[in-house]
Amino acid sequence: MLILTASDVRKALPMDASIEAIKRAYAALSGGKAEMPVRSQLRVPPHDGTSLIMPAFVDAAGGEAMAIKIVSVFPKNPTIGLPLIHAAVLVLEAETGEPIALLEGGALTAIRTGAASGAATDLLARQNSKTAAIFGAGTQGRTQLEAICTTRSIETVWVYDLDCELVEAFIDEIAGQGPIPTDLRAAPSAQDAITDADIICTATTSKRPVFPDDALKPGVHINGVGSYTLDMIEVPLETAGRATVFIDSQEAAMQEAGELVAAINKKLLSTTDLTELGDVINGNAPGRTSEEEITFFKSVGVAVQDAMVAQLALMNAKEMGLGQKVDW
């Protein structure tokens, strides 16, 4: 059994390669090459927490992958100095079911979630996109920004969070790192953040929209990745209703995408308006069709992402000599 720590996982998962792994995961899912039950949710009411169990088998281009992730989201954790998300990924040998590796899942989840937005941005955002807005100055916001800057030449980034100190720490930590530009700015309001934005990423657990619909510029691309239950809504319903909407999984979206289900219930959107990103990758559906079109990728996170990115991490870890082997 190989054990990979958070540090090992980060070293083994460069963003550009992770984005390509996510594309393969989505292509396999939409192409009928994956087995993925809808994740189970274990709610922990006394602590306002949720633990999710996410298994998947993927028969993708480049090989098979099989893994089970347990991820816990406890919103009160940051107030006591702990991460919002704790997770572990158990990797299984697809041919035999033998457990072969255990990966720290918090780092993996942040990277694969960022990579999902990177894949969507690469496929849907305008090629000349230069300005980005990030909502949520936490770990997820960091990988969101890294991913979109990996796929587009972003020059200016507006960062918005209700916690101003978090925003300042975010900017100080990652401005100029890798593909991220040095011009990162604290947005005084949500509207200020999106007025000039070509790409918007929302990575919060908000239960109400984090920006106003009427401030969006034509042609903007939006990645919504923070909300994962029906009572969480980051993106305005009006935006979901007038945008071209892309999702990771039809089944998962109908059970967990708060913005989309609410918009459908209000007759602003139909299930037939939702396109799986994998269908775009497989050439079975169009992506962006005009420069003025607003595109919205709503991801609730699916287990095929974890399986494929874990496979990539193991391959790179072996080449780099990362991790600790233990008897099982």
Residues 280, 281, 287, CA angle at the centre, nearest 5°? Answer: 30
* Alpha carbon distance 93, 148 (integer Å): 32
pLDDT-derived band at 127 (thresholds 50, 70, 90) equals very high
Q: What six digits make up the tokens of 182?
A: 């040095």
- Say what the pLDDT of residue 194 is: 98
- Say what the pLDDT of residue 185 is: 98
The answer for residues whose C-beta is within 8 angstroms of residue 224's C-beta and 6 or more apart is: 202, 234, 235, 259, 296, 297, 298, 299
In 3D space, the residue among 314, 308, 311 whose CA is nearest the CA of residue 8 turns out to be: 314
In 3D space, the residue among 138, 136, 140 whose CA is nearest the CA of residue 115 turns out to be: 140
Instruction: Tell me how crowded residue 327 is: count the other CB atoms within 10 A of its CB.
Output: 4
Instruction: 57-62: list long-range contacts, CB under 8 Å, 24+ apart.
Output: 57/94, 57/307, 58/25, 58/28, 58/29, 58/33, 58/34, 58/304, 58/307, 58/308, 59/28, 59/33, 59/34, 60/24, 60/25, 60/27, 60/28, 60/33, 60/34, 60/308, 61/24, 61/27, 61/28, 62/24
The pLDDT mean for the chain works out to: 96
Q: Is the pLDDT of residue 120 over 90?
A: yes
Residue-wise pLDDT tens digits, 152-175:
999 999 999 999 999 999 999 999
* Alpha carbon distance 297, 34 (integer Å): 21
Identify the residue whose tokens are 């100095």: 81
Share of the chain above pLDDT 70, in %: 100
- Say what the pLDDT of residue 84 is: 85
* Alpha carbon distance 264, 260 (integer Å): 6
Q: Is the pLDDT of residue 227 over 90?
A: no
Average of per-residue pLDDT across 109-136: 97
